């Protein structure tokens, strides 16, 4: 199981997260590309940190909405989604080349991520964007109890998928994330987050109603917004290492 984290989401003097502290504990950095957050200097600094720590760089494109932090859906034609993503990934990849690396995968941010998972046309637009690039990035999507429709589309364009799960988000009985607008959507209790991590490492998750669902994930999303969160990431890393080493 790889750990991924949304990073590089500061903007000018405004600081978001604690990238330097969390970077050594993760495997994959989802770096904002300037639309929902970040700027060229932040992008460059974050890529350099990732390279220094041996962390894989992924692009984290979103809607052009810094005020709403990319969490508000903005209607686009599918062709516009493709260009929106290509524009942002291309910018980050150009900065990556300054630091001797390339973008290896794409993970959409916020509302764009949810639109991708709920709208087949948006999903295909994302896949087309990835397939068109010479770097041939993978696409990170939400691990569901049934990802066959997404895999069928991705296979048609020969785009590899990375399936992602969340240790700190509640799941509904359909295997989707509970909306942030509802109570209990985000887990705050460290013990609950660690228990959900253990379940995900064994290939399942408990839903908000107590139902158990099979859920196979390649990567686990973690956050490093404060000192408590970073300490939690370290504990999650220990759980992953223990699971990898076996009994």
Give the domain CATH number at 113: 3.20.20.370
pTM of the model: 0.94
Helix (H, G, I), strand (E, B) or coil at 170: coil
- Token digits of residue 226: 């404060």
On whether residue 84 sits in a domain, the answer given is: yes
Integer-rounded Cα radius of gyration of the chain: 17
CA distance 85 to 188: 32
On whether residue 178 sits in a domain, the answer given is: no
CA distance 116 to 81: 10
On whether residue 74 sits in a domain, the answer given is: yes
Query: Taking the mean position of all CA atoms in its chain, how far away is CA 32?
Result: 10
Q: What is the pLDDT of residue 247?
A: 58
Q: What is the per-residue pLDDT across 54-100, written as a single tens digit (0 to 9) for each?
A: 999 999 999 999 999 989 999 999 999 999 999 999 999 999 999 99
Q: What is the pLDDT of residue 229?
A: 85
Is-contact 5 22, C-beta < 8 A? yes
Is-contact 73 38, C-beta < 8 A? no
The range of the structural domain enclosing residue 21 comes to 2-166+217-223
On whether residue 172 sits in a domain, the answer given is: no
Kindly report the average pLDDT of the chain as a whole number: 94
On whether residue 108 sits in a domain, the answer given is: yes
Is-contact 77 104, C-beta < 8 A? no
Is-contact 57 47, C-beta < 8 A? yes
Total domains, the chain: 1
CA distance 187 to 206: 13
Query: What's the count of helices (H) and strands (E) in the chain, helices before strands?
Result: 8, 9
HSE, CB side, 13 Å, CA atoms: give it for residue 79. Answer: 0
Alpha-helical (H) ranges within the chain are 19-22, 40-53, 78-98, 110-118, 120-131, 148-156, 190-201, 227-245
On whether residue 37 sits in a domain, the answer given is: yes
CA distance 117 to 163: 12
Is-contact 130 96, C-beta < 8 A? no
On whether residue 203 sits in a domain, the answer given is: no
CA distance 133 to 118: 24
Q: What is the DSSP string of 103-120?
A: --EE---HHHHHHHHH-H
On whether residue 207 sits in a domain, the answer given is: no
Average pLDDT by stretches of 10, the chain with 247 residues = 95 86 96 96 98 98 94 96 98 98 97 96 98 97 95 98 95 89 88 94 92 94 81 94 75
Q: What is the pLDDT of residue 181?
A: 84
């Amino acid at each position: 199981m790889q750990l991924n984290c949304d990073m590089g989401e500061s903007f000018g003097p405004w600081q978001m997260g604690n990238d330097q502290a969390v970077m050594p504990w993760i495997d994959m950095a989802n770096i904002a590309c300037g639309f929902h957050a970040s700027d060229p200097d932040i992008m460059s600094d974050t890529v350099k940190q990732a390279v220094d720590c041996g962390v894989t760089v992924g692009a984290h494109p979103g809607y052009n909405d810094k005020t709403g932090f990319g969490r508000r859906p903005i209607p686009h034609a599918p062709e516009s989604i493709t260009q929106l993503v290509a524009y942002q990934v291309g910018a980050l990849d150009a900065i990556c080349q300054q630091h001797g690396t390339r973008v290896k995968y794409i993970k959409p941010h916020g509302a764009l991520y949810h639109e991708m998972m709920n709208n087949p046309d948006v999903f295909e637009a994302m896949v087309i964007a990835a397939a068109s690039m010479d770097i041939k990035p993978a696409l990170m999507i939400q691990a569901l109890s049934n990802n066959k429709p997404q895999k069928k589309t991705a296979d048609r364009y020969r785009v590899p998928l990375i399936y992602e799960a969340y240790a700190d988000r509640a799941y509904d009985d359909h295997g989707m994330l509970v909306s942030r607008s509802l109570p209990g959507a985000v887990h705050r209790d460290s013990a609950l987050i660690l228990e959900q991590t253990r379940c995900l490492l064994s290939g399942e998750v408990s839903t908000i109603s107590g139902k158990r669902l099979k859920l196979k994930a390649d990567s686990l999303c973690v956050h490093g917004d404060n000192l408590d969160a970073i300490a939690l990431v370290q504990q999650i890393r220990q759980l992953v290492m223990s699971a990898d080493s076996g009994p």
